[in-house]
Amino acid sequence: MAWECPHLEQSDDSCRRLKQACVPGRKGCALPRNLKFAVPPEVRLAEMTQKNNQSKTSHE
Ligand code: SF4
């Protein structure tokens, strides 16, 4: 079953509610807090931050 968040901006996978990247379950996300994720949102956020930092340093 597919589910689509009404706050998702599909053109760039960002959250219109938070004005940041969509990471389901992140702080401020509209999803119920008791949901369990295969990869916790904290881990996904840490991975995204790490990737962003790597791409910044590779362009310097
Ligand atoms: S972060 Fe949460 S509220 Fe925002 S688009 Fe993603 S699922 Fe929806």
Residue 30, in any domain of the structure: no
Q: Ligand 1 test: best mutation among 12, 14, 31, most atoms within 8 Å of CB?
A: 31
- The rounded distance, in Å, linking the Cα atoms of 31 and 43 is 17
Residue 43 lies in a domain: yes
The answer to whether position 29 is within a domain reads no
Burial class (CB in 10 A: 0-12, 13-18, 19+), 23: buried
Q: Please answer whether residues 13 and 26 qualify as being in contact, where contact means their C-beta atoms are separated by less than 8 angstroms.
A: no
In a domain, 54, yes or no: yes
pLDDT tens per residue, range 17-30: 999 999 999 999 99
Domain with 50, as residue range(s), is: 8-23+36-58
Specify if 13 maps to a domain: yes
Q: Is residue 46 part of a domain?
A: yes
Q: In this structure, which residue's CA is closest to atom 2 in ligand 1?
A: 29
pLDDT at 45: 96
Task: Please report the pLDDT score of residue 58 as a whole number.
Answer: 77
pTM value is: 0.84
Token pair, residue 3, equals: 């589910």
The per-residue pLDDT for range 7-19, each reduced to its tens digit, is 999 999 999 999 9
Domain count, the chain: 1
Q: What confidence score (pLDDT) does residue 56 get?
A: 81
pLDDT of residue 44: 96
